[in-house]
Amino acid sequence: MNAVNAGIDEQLFTYLNESFRETSYYQLLGLELKLLGPGYIELEVRPNEQHTNAMDLVHGGLIMSIGDAAMGNAIRSLGIKGVTVDCSVSFPGAARLGDTITARAKVVKAGRSLIFAEAMVYANEQLLGQCKGSFYKIGNIEF
Query: What's the rounded Cα separation, in Å, for the pair 140 and 76?
Result: 9
Please give the pLDDT value at position 67.
98
Q: What is the pLDDT of residues 82-96, one digit of tens each?
A: 999 999 999 999 999
Query: C-alpha angle with apex 134: 74 to 87, nearest 5 degrees?
Result: 95
Please give the pLDDT value at position 1.
62
Counting as low any pLDDT under 70, the low residues of the chain are 1
Concatenate the DSSP letters of all residues of 100-139 into one string.
PEEEEEEEEEE-SSEEEEEEEEEETTEEEEEEEEEEEEEE
